[in-house]
């Protein structure tokens, strides 16, 4: 199993550009989520999905869109990049917490380092 994969690893954008961060997992996990990691602020949840066709907002959803058309893929779209979106982005997946009870953990991808100029 490849686990959780993210592409690209690094990206530089200009203000106003759009792009999609890709995330895929091959563990048949229902739950997927996107976080951003900023110095001194830990990980903040952007969006999450509990299954194909179902998404919901996290703590900091503004400026980001997601969709979940398959179990495997959960892309994150930046519609019009802003310097405030410079961050490291992590995708994570886990079995559905509701059906797998408390014995759950999230598996993280290696991250995408995004710089918006």
Partner 1 sequence: GNSVTQMEGPVTLSEEAFLTINCTYTATGYPSLFWYVQYPGEGLQLLLKATKADDKGSNKGFEATYRKETTSFHLEKGSVQVSDSAVYFCALLSNNFNKFYFGSGTKLNVKP
**Residues at the contact surface with partner 1, assessed by CB under 8 A:** 4, 33, 35, 40-45, 48, 50, 56, 58, 90, 92, 96-98, 102-106, 108-111
Which of 59/69 has CB closer to partner 1? 59
Quote the Cα angle for 80-63-77, to 5°: 70
How many whole angstroms separate alpha carbon 92 and alpha carbon 107? Answer: 5
Which of 85/112 has CB closer to partner 1? 112
How many C-alpha atoms does 49 have within 13 Å on its Cβ side? 26
Minimum distance from residue 49 beta carbon to partner 1 (Å): 11
Which of 1/40 has CB closer to partner 1? 40
Minimum distance from residue 109 beta carbon to partner 1 (Å): 5
Give every CB contact of residue 55 below 8 A, 6+ residues apart in sequence: 47, 48, 49, 66, 67, 68
Minimum distance from residue 14 beta carbon to partner 1 (Å): 25
Write out the two tokens for 88: 């490291």
Minimum distance from residue 93 beta carbon to partner 1 (Å): 11
């Amino acid at each position: 199993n490849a686990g959780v994969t993210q592409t690209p690893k690094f990206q530089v954008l200009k203000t106003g550009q759009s792009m999609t961060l890709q995330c895929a997992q091959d563990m048949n996990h229902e739950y997927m989520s996107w976080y951003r990691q900023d110095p001194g602020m830990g990980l903040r949840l952007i969006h999450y999905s509990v299954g194909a066709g179902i998404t919901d907002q996290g703590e900091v959803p503004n400026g980001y869109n997601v969709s979940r058309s398959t179990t495997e893929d959960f892309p994150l779209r930046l519609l019009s990049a802003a310097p405030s979106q410079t961050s490291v982005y992590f995708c994570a997946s886990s079995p559905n917490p509701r059906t797998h009870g408390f014995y759950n953990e999230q598996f993280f991808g290696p991250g995408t380092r995004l710089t918006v100029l």
